[in-house]
Amino acid sequence: MNWTDWIETPDSSNIARYRYDVKEHVLQVEFKSGGTYNYYDVLQAVFDQMKAATSKGQFLAQNVKGVYRYARA
């Protein structure tokens, strides 16, 4: 795995932090509820868009959930 550093999201009501595996194209999201999930085959561009999004949770709900396969980490 070739993870980026964790990106903390203190302003998010839902997401605690997230990071991206550049080599494997895996977006890993840690939720404030305690669960951590891997989303697979996520393009670098989607990760970059998430970093730029005003609301990380809203971006995840609209652009990642239901689009990419996932599993609990």
* Tokens found for residue 12: 């998010």
pLDDT tens column, 48-68: 999 999 999 999 999 999 999
Residue 53 CA to residue 45 CA, distance in Å, equals 12
Neighbours of 15 (CB within 10 A): 21
Q: Which two tokens stand for residue 46?
A: 């989607």
Q: Decide if pLDDT at 1 tops 90.
A: no
% the chain with pLDDT above 70: 100
CA distances from 6 to 9, 16, 29, 66 (A): 9, 10, 9, 23
Q: What is the pTM of this model?
A: 0.96
